[in-house]
Amino acid sequence: MESTNQLQNEVIQNAMYRMDESLRMVKICLDKLSEDVIWKKPNTSTNSIGNLILHLCGNITQYGIASLRGLDDNRNRDAEFSAFEGYNKTELYQKLLDTVEGAKKAFQEVSLEELIRKRSVQGFEFSGVGNIIHVVEHFSYHTGQIALWTKMLNNADLRFYDGVDLNIKNEE
């Protein structure tokens, strides 16, 4: 049982670390952008950074909070993509931060039984662990989109890892 608890804690700690990394990167992007581009779309087939952040809040809440906690699913996914205003970049970041903190709390408090139990979310069948993996990878995916759009708008490196030597080789 001890090794099960250690594995559970390790998975959850790493998921929370990855979410914090995505949140850090989104904040760097927002800090480099003016208010007038937050709701700008590159073209009709893509989303604004504002839409992406609303979408992340909806998805993280649906998978990482409501499903794990057994709460009602009140998500309005279409509204996440149809919005073209309503929040400034500070408010968007705060909404995302609050959502991420709520999900991290849910991750830490979920029981082993809930981590294993299968449930239907958006018509997909996932365990609680599957939900957590989805939240992390989905957040990372859209963070990459936000980063790319920010780079395109600013024509500049985002310097996510300033001061870190990313050429260090793995140690055995």
CATH topology of domain 2-154: Four Helix Bundle (Hemerythrin (Met), subunit A) (1.20.120)
Report d(CA 26, CA 114) in Å as an integer: 30
pLDDT (0 to 100) of residue 124: 96
pLDDT (0 to 100) of residue 1: 65
Report d(CA 126, CA 121) in Å as an integer: 7
pLDDT (0 to 100) of residue 16: 98
pLDDT (0 to 100) of residue 2: 78
Model confidence, pTM: 0.95
pLDDT (0 to 100) of residue 4: 82
Report d(CA 91, CA 53) in Å as an integer: 10
Averages of pLDDT over each 10 residues, the chain, 172 residues:
87 98 98 97 94 98 98 96 95 98 98 96 97 98 98 96 95 88
Q: In Å, how far are 31, 51, 159 from 28, measured between CA atoms?
A: 5, 17, 9
CA angle, corner 11, sides to 10 and 15, nearest 5?
115
Residue boundaries of the structural domains of the chain: 2-154
pLDDT (0 to 100) of residue 132: 98
